[in-house]
């Protein structure tokens, strides 16, 4: 039969651990607690402390990952189907819509609309002049590398405005592209696998939570 430890002997061992000299700098602290006289790392108090630390670390990592991976909510994705305006106002919505337009080789329409929208916010004359000419060279000129569906009337108006560029010189062109995307591309987007897959994914996430 294993030798039993008396109460006096147990208290001496507890006191020895409690009164032990402090650890020298740089040395690891023993994995013991004042409640564990045997000095092992398997006491219930120590195991519970380790589990709490692991849970806290896991929770922090989950929070960091959630912050890094921002996804549109189910409510937001559903709102896009109700309003094209809400789709364009949403950063995630624009990215998803752009992905769809890329599959139809009409991504330039959205890029042009966004460039015009940015130009309308400018107030510095030199910046307005620079951005207006960049938009013209990229999307409107007959030599431009990108295709935008503008009619001859709108193109002529833009050509006349080039002499004195303004932040609103593409307003008619922007409206025309907006109308085209709204009436033509948007309905196909809502029926596309790009949108439907995202919607199904958001619904599964809501059910899981």
Mean pLDDT, rounded, for 131-146 = 93
**Model pTM above 0.75:** no
- 65 pLDDT band, cuts 50/70/90, is very low
Number of alpha helices (DSSP H) and beta strands (DSSP E) in the chain: 11, 0
pLDDT class for 67, splitting at 50, 70, 90?
A: very low
From 65-74, 131-140, 153-162, the region with the lowest mean pLDDT: 65-74
pLDDT band (50, 70, 90) for residue 116: very high
Integer Cα distance of 139 and 158 in angstroms: 11
Span 111-116, average pLDDT: 98
**Cβ atoms of 112 and 177 closer than 8 Å:** yes
């Amino acid at each position: 039969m294993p030798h039993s430890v008396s109460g006096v002997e147990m208290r001496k061992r507890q006191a020895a651990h409690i009164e032990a000299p402090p650890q020298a700098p740089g040395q690891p602290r023993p994995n013991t607690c004042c409640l564990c006289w045997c000095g092992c790392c398997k006491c219930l108090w120590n195991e519970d402390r380790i589990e709490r630390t692991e849970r806290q670390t896991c929770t922090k990592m989950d929070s960091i990952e959630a912050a890094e991976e921002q996804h549109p909510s189910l409510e937001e994705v559903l709102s896009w189907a109700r309003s094209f305006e809400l789709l364009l106002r949403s950063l995630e919505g624009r990215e998803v819509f752009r992905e769809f337009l890329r599959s139809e080789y009409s991504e330039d329409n959205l890029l042009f609309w966004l460039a015009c929208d940015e130009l309308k916010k400018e107030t510095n004359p030199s910046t307005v002049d620079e951005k207006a000419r960049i938009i013209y060279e990229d999307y409107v000129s007959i030599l431009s590398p990108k295709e935008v569906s503008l009619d001859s009337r709108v193109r002529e108006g833009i050509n006349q405005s080039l002499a004195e560029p303004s932040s609103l010189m593409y307003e008619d062109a922007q409206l025309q592209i907006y109308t085209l995307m709204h009436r033509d591309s948007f309905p196909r987007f809502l029926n596309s696998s790009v949108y439907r897959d995202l919607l199904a994914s958001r619904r599964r996430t809501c059910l899981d939570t």
